[in-house]
Amino acid sequence: MTETTTFHTTQPHMLKESKVYQSQTLMGGLSGFESPIGLDRHDRMNALRTGDIGFVHSWDINTSVDGPGTRMTVFMSGCPLRCQYCQNPDTWKMRDGQPVYLQAMIDKVARYQDLFKSTGGGITFSGGESMMQAAFVSRVFRAAKEMGVHTCLDTSGFLNRNYTDAMIDDIDLCLLDVKSGDEATYKKVTGGTLAPTIEFGKRLAARGSKIWVRFVLVPGLTDSEENVENVARVCEQFKDAIEHIDVLPFHQLGRPKWHELRIPYPLEDAKGPSAALKDRVKKQLEAHGFVVY
């Protein structure tokens, strides 16, 4: 007997408000970037390795949670993990992004550098997983540092070895996703392994980069007291590099994308955490001496 995969269609009531959905998904597009459309596949792959081009999903100017001040957040295409709660499955495949010239990205940063400096903002690379394109991202960061622009990397750290120490030195702030505190839960949540995240956090701390840890709280998946304690122990290894921990409550705003892409969504009926659960987790982490939001 062959098992039939069930796909779901998003209904209007599944979204809280259309404006909320739009503000928390990738709506920026790629207007204003020069793209090397004429390159053949061989030339594109070579340019990707050298960082002369990057595959980009979209970008936006925001003042939300992607670092301090007003940020230019660039969402890179490609990700090796398959998180059950992923909000942007449309960034998983690098080939679905648009190739953008390195200089075009640097020019865009330069255009906003006065705004960044006046607001204490800068450029943030997110995804997907921006560490998949380490050459491109690190070259943009180097140019940004030469302009005096703050740099921020949003990553799981899973591709830790893609970054050299010299590349890390150009990261002012890392939004480090600690998706679980133990290997078994991490594997269940992401399909990957936890150890590279821990190693990358240690390397960031050793090189003087600051860290904002992000932990997504999913009832029945990441919320056990043991797992939260293990998250705290992981974070303790990064010592004074951590400025705070963000406990991010699970939500269903990404569900429509899974439906649109016809990918079976593992958390179809999952609910967000209660106020009591969020308070318990916050207090657990605070007990280890962390500032928690």
CATH of the domain at 105: 3.20.20.70
62-90 confidence digits (pLDDT tens): 876 799 999 999 999 999 999 999 999 99
Look at residue 65 in the predicted model and tell me its pLDDT.
Answer: 79
Task: Supply the range of the domain harboring residue 276.
Answer: 14-286
Provide, rounded to the nearest whole percent, the portion of the chain with pLDDT above 90: 80
8 A C-beta contact, residue 29 and residue 258: no
199 falls within a domain = yes
**14 phi, psi to nearest 5 deg:** -75, -15
1 falls within a domain = no
CB burial string 226-245: b at 16+ within 10 A, e below:
ebbbbbbebbeebeebbeeb
- Residue found by looking up tokens 């010592």 in the block: 239
8 A C-beta contact, residue 162 and residue 198: no
Q: Would you mind telling me the total number of residues written for the chain in this entry?
A: 293
3 falls within a domain = no
Look at residue 128 in the predicted model and tell me its pLDDT.
Answer: 93
Query: In total, how many domains does the chain have?
Result: 1
Look at residue 201 in the predicted model and tell me its pLDDT.
Answer: 98
pTM, entire model: 0.87
174 falls within a domain = yes
8 A C-beta contact, residue 56 and residue 112: no
Look at residue 31 in the predicted model and tell me its pLDDT.
Answer: 61
7 falls within a domain = no
116 falls within a domain = yes
pLDDT under 50 in the chain at which residues? 1-4, 9-27
**261 phi, psi to nearest 5 deg:** -85, 0
Look at residue 15 in the predicted model and tell me its pLDDT.
Answer: 38
63 falls within a domain = yes
8 falls within a domain = no
Look at residue 284 in the predicted model and tell me its pLDDT.
Answer: 98
